[in-house]
Amino acid sequence: MAKYTLEQLAQLTNGILTKKEDVEITKVAPPKLADVNTLALAMNEEEIENLGSCKAKAALVPLGVNFENISTIEVERPRLAFMKLLNAFYVGPDAPREIHPTAVIEPTAKIGKNVSIGANVYISNNAEIGDNTVLKPNVYIGKEAKIGSDCLFHPGVNIGDFVQVGNRCIIHHGASLGADGFSFVTESPNNIEQARKEGAIKEANAEVKVFKIPSLGAVTVGDDVEIGANTTIDRGTIENTIIGDQTKIDNLVMIGHNCKIGKACTIVSQVGIAGSCIIGDRVVIAGQAGLKDHVEIGDDSIILAKAGITKSFPKKSVVMGAPGVLRKDFIKRLKYLDEAEVMVQKYKKYQHLLEDYEKFLNEDGKI
């Protein structure tokens, strides 16, 4: 069990310590769940109020917050301090630095130093595993795949042939990198091609034959990337699908073939990105947003939840709605809807007068 003094935690978080008494800290928790050896995390107004009735003798608080009977560590960025504290108390997965006897490693594979390889892991021909990397049970590594140093792959991760993963990457349970892209062609124009070109489906070919387009590319993942559970990233058709350094991808995300995702992006759960999209650096894509193929999103943009993106947007765009539009335009449309509702109510109020006037005109033979 980790144990820290208040002085150590203040130094760790770059905080200002106001100490009432010595206390040994063995865990962190919200004020309502805190005991005497807990550093209570009071990072917002509600949790600060809860400090008055909690058992903790010490708390992490924003700058300017102080209590008579509780030692406080004041920090400028509580969430950043929160991250540092959780890292200090975090207990990682068991990873004995050994190769489990049930693991299968092909003779041409290259294994780095101090690597942990769990039960039933398979490492294919000419694959490379970097130093200090941990492969939990049932991980699959395809042929000529290259995995960097200090990575952690949770159980059930599947890495396809020729995929490259950088250093210090974390990939969670059941993620798939390097499956074939969803790419097909028909002998004659299919319904989708007709609809795109003509705006309608004119002729349906009941005997259409669909041919698979092979995926010759792979997936390249940069350094310090995290990929969530059951997320899928398809290999490129000819060029590689690319995920930039520092990008964080949530659970249940789908990234199609040929996509280029920039650096330090945040992609939230259930996002679907169709093939050949280009996403700039530091882009945030919120939950359940969907992007059609071949769109480009500029650097530092935000795609809000459930947006349906059908066209490209420049850098620093904030986009919402389906089909997606700039946030300012979406709000303007909502305002128009409110105004339209008022107009409808006025119309209903005077509708009988309009009908009487039209009846008068008809009887007078003018219309």
Q: Answer whether residue 96 is part of any domain.
A: no
Region 107-117 average pLDDT: 97
In a shared domain, residues 291 and 347: no
Kindly report, residue by residue over 242-290, the tens digit of the pLDDT. Answer: 999 999 999 999 999 999 999 999 999 999 999 999 999 999 999 999 9
In a shared domain, residues 348 and 312: no
Q: What is the CATH number of the domain that holds 17?
A: 3.40.1390.10
State the pLDDT confidence band at 77, using cuts at 50, 70 and 90.
very high
In a shared domain, residues 364 and 247: no
Q: Answer whether residue 240 is part of any domain.
A: yes
| Residues with Cβ within 8 Å of residue 338, at least 6 apart in sequence | none
Q: Answer whether residue 196 is part of any domain.
A: yes
Paired sense of beta strands 16-18 and 71-75, if any: antiparallel
In a shared domain, residues 272 and 333: no
pTM across the whole model: 0.87
Residue with tokens 């820290």: 4
State the pLDDT confidence band at 1, using cuts at 50, 70 and 90.
confident
**Window from 68-77, 146-155, 295-304 with minimum mean pLDDT:** 68-77
Q: Answer whether residue 95 is part of any domain.
A: no
> What angle is formed at CA 67 by the lines to CA 65 and CA 72, rounded to 5 degrees?
70
Q: Answer whether residue 356 is part of any domain.
A: yes
In a shared domain, residues 129 and 51: no
> In the listed set 55, 89, 123, which residue is the last one of a domain according to the structure?
89
In single-letter form, the type of residue at position 99 comes to I
Q: How many CB atoms neighbour CB 201 within 10 A?
A: 12
Residue 156 contacts residue 171 (beta carbons within 8 Å): no
In a shared domain, residues 220 and 279: yes
Select which of 154, 173, 257, 352 is catalytic. Answer: 257
pLDDT at position 23: 93
In a shared domain, residues 269 and 286: yes
> In the listed set 60, 89, 118, which residue is the last one of a domain according to the structure?
89
In a shared domain, residues 191 and 216: yes
Q: Answer whether residue 1 is part of any domain.
A: no
> What angle is formed at CA 285 by the lines to CA 281 and CA 286, rounded to 5 degrees?
150
In a shared domain, residues 124 and 187: yes
Indicate the average pLDDT of the chain.
93
pLDDT at position 335: 85
In a shared domain, residues 298 and 154: yes
pLDDT at position 365: 57
pLDDT at position 193: 78
Q: Answer whether residue 262 is part of any domain.
A: yes
pLDDT at position 42: 94
Instruction: For residue 352, give its domain range.
Output: 328-367
How many independent structural domains does the chain possess? 3
Q: Answer whether residue 99 is part of any domain.
A: no
State the pLDDT confidence band at 366, using cuts at 50, 70 and 90.
low
> What angle is formed at CA 359 by the lines to CA 355 and CA 361, rounded to 5 degrees?
120
In a shared domain, residues 132 and 268: yes
Is residue 173 among the annotated active site residues?
A: no
In a shared domain, residues 164 and 191: yes
State the pLDDT confidence band at 14, using cuts at 50, 70 and 90.
very high
Structure token pair of residue 178: 């390097």
pLDDT at position 192: 79
Q: What is the CATH number of the domain that holds 187?
A: 2.160.10.10
Kindly report, residue by residue over 332-343, the tens digit of the pLDDT. Answer: 888 888 888 878
